[in-house]
């Protein structure tokens, strides 16, 4: 990006946009702007060098169609990069009952919102079906335990973010 580049972030939630703009402003970042909207449905007046999404496609009912729509916003030879979850394979070993119960709540809540909790493992065929070349991909897993494991903080933040959508 450098000093002359521009980053435009898009989110469907006004609170997320406001938070992200305030964070960028507090850091003195002037070439980053966040706007509210559905990136797959928006008409933008420019093309970008890259479309990058983290935990985005999993919330669309048709990820292939979504990528096709997003492709119109990236210049030829630009990048399309997505990071998605594979919650279906998240687990503890040895079994930690509270951790497993927390994972079950997260999976149930995400599934109830229509999110595809295993889309991470399905990205390869999704990219191909959207008409993109075969992507370079990898799977990462955070493995650890004990009181200092960063996974607990991630799990806590995820649960906090899902509380408004929690179902009994």
pTM of the model: 0.85
Residue 148 gets which letter from DSSP?
T
Q: What is the pLDDT of residue 152?
A: 86
| pLDDT number for residue 149 | 87
pLDDT at residue 88, as a whole number: 85
Q: Where are the beta strands (DSSP E) in the chain?
A: 7-11, 32-36, 48-54, 74-83
pLDDT mean values, one per 10 residues, the chain (168 residues): 80 92 93 95 92 95 97 94 92 90 91 92 96 94 85 87 74
Q: Residue 141: its pLDDT value, please?
A: 86
Residue 146 is predicted with a pLDDT of: 83
């Amino acid at each position: 990006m450098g000093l002359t580049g521009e980053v435009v972030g898009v989110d469907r939630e006004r609170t997320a946009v406001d938070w992200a703009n305030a964070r960028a402003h507090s850091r003195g970042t002037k070439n980053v702007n966040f706007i509210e909207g559905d990136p797959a449905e928006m008409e933008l007046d420019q093309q970008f060098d890259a479309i990058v999404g983290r935990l985005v496609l999993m919330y669309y009912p048709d990820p292939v169609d979504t990528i096709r729509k997003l492709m119109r916003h990236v210049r030829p030879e630009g990048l399309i990069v997505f990071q998605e979850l594979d919650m279906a394979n998240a687990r503890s070993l040895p079994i930690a009952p509270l951790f497993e119960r927390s994972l079950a709540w997260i999976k149930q809540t995400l599934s109830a919102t229509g999110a595809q909790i295993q889309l991470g493992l399905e990205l390869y065929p999704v990219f191909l079906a959207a008409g993109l070349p075969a992507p370079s991909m990898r799977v990462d897993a955070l493995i650890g335990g004990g009181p200092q494991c960063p996974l607990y903080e991630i799990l806590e933040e995820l649960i906090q973010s899902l509380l408004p959508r929690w179902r009994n």
